[in-house]
Amino acid sequence: MPQYAILIYTPAPGDVADMPPEEQEAHMRHAEEAERLGGKVVQGFALQPSTGAMAVRGTRVIDGPFTEAKEVIAGFYILQARDPEHALEIAKRNPATWRGGVEVRALLE
């Protein structure tokens, strides 16, 4: 089955620690729901807050947030799904859509 990255966006400068407990619990249940829909969450990762991020631009290293943003990436899942429509069907049920959003991107094979 093809694999998709489901990028989890939360309102800036939020991070996983700022999520209400019910949303954190819903993320844990999302993998079970994906399986009921015929997909599979292969792996999921929460990211540390963007304030601790680093970037490399050319030869320069930059610490901290880099742009003014309304949302930040708080984590991601790797999802197996039949096709892009199936991945979107599962992604629409992700709890990140309650107050932020998700982005679905196919992985290169």
List of E strands, 1-109: 3-11, 40-46, 54-57, 60-63, 71-80, 101-106
pLDDT confidence tier of residue 27, bands split at 50, 70 and 90: confident
Confidence class for position 55, pLDDT limits 50, 70, 90? confident
In the Cβ-directed half-sphere of 78, how many Cα atoms lie within 13 Å? 8
Span 3-106 CATH architecture: 2-Layer Sandwich (3.30)
- Given a contact cutoff of 8 angstroms between Cβ atoms, the answer to whether 13 and 82 are in contact is no
pLDDT at 20 over 70: yes
Domain boundaries along the sequence of the chain: 3-106
